[in-house]
Structure formats: structure tokens, C-alpha cells
Amino acid sequence: QVSLVQSGGEVKKPGASVKVSCKASGYTFTTYGISWVRQAPGQGLEWMGWINPHNGNTKYAQNFQGRVTLTTDTSTSTAYMELMSLRSDDTAVYYCVKETYGKFDYWGQGTLVIVSS
Amino acid sequence: QSALTQPAFVSGSPGQSITIPCTGTSNDIGAYNSVSWYQQHPGKAPKLIIHNVNNRPSGVSNRFSGSKSGNTASLTISGLQAEDEADYYCTSYIGSSISWLFGGGTKLAVL
């Protein structure tokens, strides 16, 4: 069965960076894209970016251009999301999501990132 | 691009039907049949309930259905049950630019 298991919660200071991991299992990792979606407390879902694990091609949402980097390690079927220059409004739950032909069919459990001085 | 527009709150009684609209533009919902809907219970990850406008993944109740007309997609839940109380989000996949837009979300209360 498909599973996406994310790394644990983080507390960071403003200006720092955070790197969240997402280990996939139960399917061929290089066949489907991985997107990252975040949700600030009490707010809606926001798409951040997408990566093709097969060739490393990426696409980032305009709001995150230059501040987020998506990578994958195909040897361990793990995807990574690094967000830099953190601000307090980056406090959110970050989800990795398996993308299949435009739909998000499997979600990780979420990783809470708190940005606070 | 702006987020898709959903009502913030919808309510219904057990057994009733409700419809949640999701309005976009001719560049997103109007251009592609790649609208998906997600259900999110408090403290949980979202769950895919409708994809490609009106397709239900295996295991999703047939009480959930989707449709689209022009730039507006809709999610209908029939025979409301208490367990349907959750937040619902629409998404449109923009194939030409490999990007996704989310709606702002709708909280469904089953009264």
C-alpha cells in the first residue's frame, strides 16, 4: 500500500532554513510526481511546488520562487522540501503529496514547522 | 493566479443534500477537466474524494459527486451524515504550466 512518511516537527528562528523529508513506499517512486502543500494554522491549503523524481524537473509556485528547493533521492525513495529565510508566517503544517495525472491521491501525515524567535 | 473561490461555510441537516461551488476562470477550471475535491477532518491530512471533475476513487462513498459548468465546479453530497462534517477544498490542475490552484475551503456543518 502507498505510504508517505514525513519527518518530525521543527522549531526554527526567523531567517533560518528548514528541510522536511518525505519517504515514499508502496509504489515506483520515479513514476509519479511529488508536490508539497502547506496549511497555516486555521487556514486553507496552499500549493508550493512539484518535482518529477524521474528527472528532477521542478515547478514552484510564484509565492515561493527563490525561497524553496525541492529535491529527491531516488536511492531511498525520499523527497525533500527546503524552505529558506523563514518568517513567522511560514508557521504551518507542510504536506508531501503523491501526484498522479493532476490529482493528489496520497498525502503524508504532515510536518508542523513553527517559526518563532 | 488567484485562488479559486468557495463559500466559507455551508450547512445541512442529516439526510439532506448540499452543493459546494468552486469558481475559477477560463484559464483554470474552464480550461481543464482536472478539478479535484478533498475532504479534511480536523487534525488530519486531506483525502481525495473526487478527481477529474466527477470521478470517485475506490472506497469513496457514492454520496459524493462532482460536476462542472463553464468556470465553476461543484461538489454535491447527498444523504448528509454526521461524519461528513469537515472542510472541503477544490483544486484545479493547470496543465500548461504544471501548477495547481486551491480553493479557500468550505466548512461543512451537519446540524
Whether A104 and B97 lie within 8 Å, measured CB to CB? no
A88 phi, psi to nearest 5 deg? -60, -30
pLDDT at B70 over 90: yes
Query: Testing the interface with A: which of B33, B97, B98 to mutate, by most A Cβ within 10 A?
Result: B98
B9 phi, psi to nearest 5 deg? -150, 135
Positive or negative, the CA dihedral A41, B38, A97, B32 is negative
In B, which residues are within 8 Å of A45 by CB distance?
38, 40, 46, 89, 91, 102, 105
Partner-chain residue, chosen from B93, B102, B103, that has the shortest CB–CB distance to A102: B93
Q: What is the DSSP string of chain B?
A: -PPBB--SEEEE-TT--EEEEEE--TTTTTT-S-EEEEEE-TTS--EEEEBTTTBPPTTS-TTEEEEEETTEEEEEE-S--GGG-EEEEEEEEEGGGTEEEEB--EEEEE-
**Each residue's pLDDT tens digit, B89-100:** 999 988 788 889
Whether B57 and A35 lie within 8 Å, measured CB to CB? no
Cα B48 to Cα B93: distance, rounded to the nearest angstrom = 14
Whole-Å CA distances, A12 to A84, A116, B48? 11, 6, 31
Per-residue pLDDT of chain A (117 residues; tens, 9 = 90+): 999 999 999 999 999 999 999 999 999 999 999 999 999 999 999 999 999 999 999 999 999 989 999 999 999 999 999 999 999 999 999 999 999 999 999 999 999 999 999
Nearest CA in chain B to A102: B93
Which pLDDT value is given to residue A108?
98
Which pLDDT value is given to residue B95?
79
Partner-chain residue, chosen from B36, B103, B105, that has the shortest CB–CB distance to A104: B36
Partner-chain residue, chosen from B45, B52, B91, that has the shortest CB–CB distance to A107: B45
Cell numbers 490552484 correspond to B101
Three-class DSSP labels, chain A: CCEEEECCCEEECCCCCEEEEEEEECCCHHHCEEEEEEECCCCCEEEEEEECCCCCCEEECHHHCCCEEEEEECCCCEEEEEECCCCHHHCEEEEEEEEECCEEEEECCCEEEEECC
The answer for B 30-89 residues in CB contact with A (under 8 A) is 32, 34, 36, 38, 40, 45-48, 51-52, 57, 89
Cell numbers 486555521 correspond to A42
- Residue B2: pLDDT band (50, 70, 90) is confident
Which pLDDT value is given to residue B1?
62
How far B97 CA sits from the closest chain A CA (Å)?
8
